[in-house]
Amino acid sequence: MDLMDRIEESSATPKYLQVVNAIISDIEAGVLKRGHRIPSINETSEMYYLSRDTIEKAYKVLRKRGVISSVKGKGCYISNTFASDKIRVLLLFNKLSAYKKTIYYAILKSLGEDAVVDLHIHHFDGKICESLITDNIGRYDYFVIMPHFYHNAELALRSIKNIPQEKLLLLDKNIESYTGNCAAIYQDFEHDIRTALQSGQDLLQKYERIVLVYPKDVLYPVEIVKGFRCFCREAAFEHIVVSSMCDVQLKPKTVYITLEESDLAEVIKKSRAQQMRLGKDIGVISYNDTPLKTILDSGITVISTDHEKMGETAAHLMRHKLRDKIHNPFTLIRRNSL
């Protein structure tokens, strides 16, 4: 194990992580054999003129990752069970929903047995994300992060910048202020809703106004509202944004766009009470597709990204160590409610 030529003083990667990466690289190259003893913390520190704290932190990461194990009174050994050929992935999602589960299972299916995937939720809080990154910085080959933050965003960005670029994959949303060369699969929320509605203008033209139901108590990207308003201005549609359908009286020749399924249910319930037919008297568009929407009321029109495709693409980029930035497909799926 020779670290002298592989520790770069000017590197953005902390020294202890450079030590971790060097040891794993030597295992993969066959320089270090499974079951063989490696120098102790003190021995390594003295041998390579590195601080004891640096080596201690590196060995701690290697133990947590299962690369090395300690035998009392004998020293540290390369673990016989360490599977260096498996991709270790940490997924940091903002929330767990039906759509997020689709992405998660698509990643699991696409990577198969070649990967170990751990899922954590940061709940839109940059402080939680920072803690998860800091605690796991040397344990994973990839950090797949959904950067939707509404609290302590600056803490999350600072910690994301500490992740080596080749190990970072931004999912669902880009970070404009991040200048590193990492992989990304993203939605362009403002552009996506605008172009999806444009593609359905032949159906929308029989209506006079559009209502977007954008809930206050559930966190959605504000770019959705921007894109919606931009489309309505360009297409000369009367439009309004409301936070809930509870107090809204349905009006004929109106299209209702719902983000939450509870608001979709409220529209359908009121349409039945007021004897208004979907796709005739009023139009309904739901955000994000689900199997239920294909059959509900003879089919609910949706605007949706392809969540399964997002997961499959993420797995492809990780498997082939690519750093492409890819806009995930987003379309209007036409059904009878419009």
Token reading at 159:
């910690």
pLDDT for the residue 146: 97
Q: Which of 169, 186, 203 is the last residue of a domain?
A: 186
Is there a domain that residue 297 lies in?
Answer: yes
Predicted pLDDT at 1: 59
**Which pLDDT score is estimated for 269?**
96
Which has more pLDDT, 4 or 93? 93
Q: Taking a C-beta distance cutoff of 8 angstroms, is the pair 58, 16 a contact?
A: yes
Cα–Cα nearest to 287, from 331, 329, 309, 257? 257
**The pLDDT of residue 73:** 78
- State mean pLDDT over 184-207: 97
DSSP state of 33: -
| Cβ atoms of residues 87 and 97 within 8 Å | no
Provide the 8-state DSSP code for 278.
B
Q: How far apart are CA 51 and CA 164, in angstroms?
A: 22
3-state secondary structure of 219: coil
> Residue 270 pLDDT more than 80?
yes
| Integer Cα distance of 114 and 133 in angstroms | 23
In this prediction, residues 172-176 reach a mean pLDDT of 91
**Average of per-residue pLDDT across 321-337:** 96
The helix/strand/coil state of 326 is: strand
pLDDT value, residue 262: 94
| Mean pLDDT, residues 300-313 | 97
Residue whose token pair is 């035998």: 71
- pTM for this predicted structure: 0.74
Pairing of strands 330-333, 301-305: antiparallel
| Structural domain includes residue 7 | no
Number of domains observed in the structure of the chain: 3
Is 313 part of any domain? no
**pLDDT at residue 243, as a whole number:** 95
- Predicted pLDDT of residue 229: 98
88 vs 208, more confident = 208
Question: Are 126 and 159 found together in one domain?
Answer: yes
Sequence letter at residue 275? Q
Chain Cα centroid distance, residue 334:
27
- For 55-91, the pLDDT digits (tens) are 999 999 888 878 898 887 788 899 887 766 678 899 9
Cite the beta strand spans of the chain per DSSP E: 37-38, 68-71, 75-78, 87-93, 115-121, 142-145, 168-172, 183-186, 209-213, 238-242, 254-258, 282-287, 301-305, 325-327, 330-333
State mean pLDDT over 261-288: 96
For residue 309, the SS3 value is helix
Last residue within a domain, chosen from 58, 78, 98: 78
pLDDT score for 310: 97
- Residue 213 falls inside a structural domain: yes
Least trusted range by pLDDT, from 45-49, 186-190, 283-287, 301-305: 45-49
pLDDT digits (tens, 9 = 90+) for 14-38: 888 888 888 887 887 778 888 889 8
Ranges 44-53, 101-110, 234-243, 307-316: which has the least confidence: 44-53
Task: Please name the amino acid found at residue 44.
Answer: T
Mind listing the pLDDT tens digit for each residue in 147-159? Answer: 999 999 999 999 9
pLDDT above 90 covers a percentage of the chain that reads 67
Domain boundary among 156, 186, 216: 186
* 292 shares a domain with 206: yes
Pair (51, 65) in one structural domain: yes
Same-domain check for residues 264 and 239: yes
The yes-or-no verdict on residue 279 having pLDDT over 90 is: yes
Q: Which residue has the higher pLDDT, 176 or 185?
A: 185
pLDDT band at 247 (very low <50, low <70, confident <90, very high): confident
Which pLDDT belongs to residue 84?
63
Residue 4 has pLDDT above 70, yes or no: no
Same-domain status, 173 and 108: yes
- Tokens 């939450």 belong to residue: 260
Parent domain of 156: 87-186
Label residue 81 exposed, middle or buried (CB < 10 Å: 0-12, 13-18, 19+): exposed
Q: Token match 């509404």: residue? A: 150
Residues 177 and 257 in one domain: no
**CATH at residue 49:** 1.10.10.10
pLDDT of the residue at 85: 67
Domain co-membership, 161 together with 248: no
